[in-house]
Amino acid sequence: MPITDAQFKLGVGGVAIALVAVIATGRFCGSVAMPPKPLAPVFATGTETELIAQAAAAPAVYNDYLAKDAEAAGVAVPSLEDMARKLAYRFDDKRRILEVGEPAIVVEGLSLVIAKNRQTLVLTIENTTGADIAYRVVTEPIPTTNCNSAQPLPFNAVVLANGARATRVECTWRTGMSLAITRVELVELSPLSAWYLAQVPPPLLGIDPRVARGHSPAAKTCSAIPSHALESGLKSGEIDWRDLVDFYARYRCQTYQFPLTYRAVGK
């Protein structure tokens, strides 16, 4: 029976998960004898159906994580089919200039407005999409200046619940400042995916450190140190925010590391 690209990715991911579990057991528990010398790498060459069959044992491991994590999050347990679906993605890269005192604009379901807050320029983002989302709003203060000295406000730089607002500091205030919106991206999330991503720190998603300094996570987060290979992939454009969000919406960051060859399902 033919399978979807999403099911194939989950199946192949399952193989990797099963291998990690076996190696970890042997390394830390000592119950599995490791071969004296690793075999030469074998590259999968079968059909998609054959590759999924090879991963037959892996879905049980993944399903176990889904059940435990859904219970911890207080949400319904999703099926493998649910977790394999393409996630609704929206983006807009039209450059827009926001001025203080002007009404909010709506871009891809995000309401955006700037204001002066004491001695800082702040951007308020409201989620009017009707769904919980992972979001990214790329901005550029005008005039361009060093904005890292501005005292940040606490906000969630990764996930925005349906109807919620986030106010973030953009820069130290200067008379006549404005803000350029250069890109808006968002991914609609299921309840468990939103819970997964709430634990992912902004550096692992390639979010600009200038705006993410005030990130205040809703839950205990994973390690915030991206690998050099990931940083290189982000810099070159081979990997982007959507790929990272898509992966961590499906896999718990405490257990799985982003594979450099992973791309968003259906991209």
Domains of the chain, with CATH numbers?
A: 1-35+42-85 (no CATH), 89-186 (2.60.40)
Least trusted range by pLDDT, from 39-48, 81-90, 125-134: 39-48
As a whole number of Å, the CA-based R_g of the chain is 21
The answer to whether 196 and 256 are in contact (CB under 8 A) is no
Q: What is the pLDDT of residue 13?
A: 54
Q: How far is residue 112's CA from residue 27's CA, in Å, rounded to a whole number?
A: 50
Closest CA to 186 of 82, 84, 88, 85: 88
Tell me what the pLDDT averaged over the chain comes to. Answer: 83
Q: What is the pLDDT of residue 41?
A: 28
* Predicted structure pTM score: 0.78
Q: What is the pLDDT of residue 229?
A: 95
254 has pLDDT over 60: yes
Q: What is the pLDDT of residue 92?
A: 98
Q: What is the pLDDT of residue 24?
A: 41
Q: How far is residue 33's CA from residue 172's CA, in Å, rounded to a whole number?
A: 59
Q: What percent of the chain has pLDDT over 70?
A: 79
The answer to whether 170 and 139 are in contact (CB under 8 A) is yes
Q: How far is residue 160's CA from residue 59's CA, in Å, rounded to a whole number?
A: 30
Closest CA to 195 of 233, 250, 255, 124: 250
28 has pLDDT over 80: no
The pLDDT confidence band at residue 144, using thresholds 50, 70 and 90, is confident
Q: What is the pLDDT of residue 10?
A: 53
Q: What is the pLDDT of residue 129?
A: 98
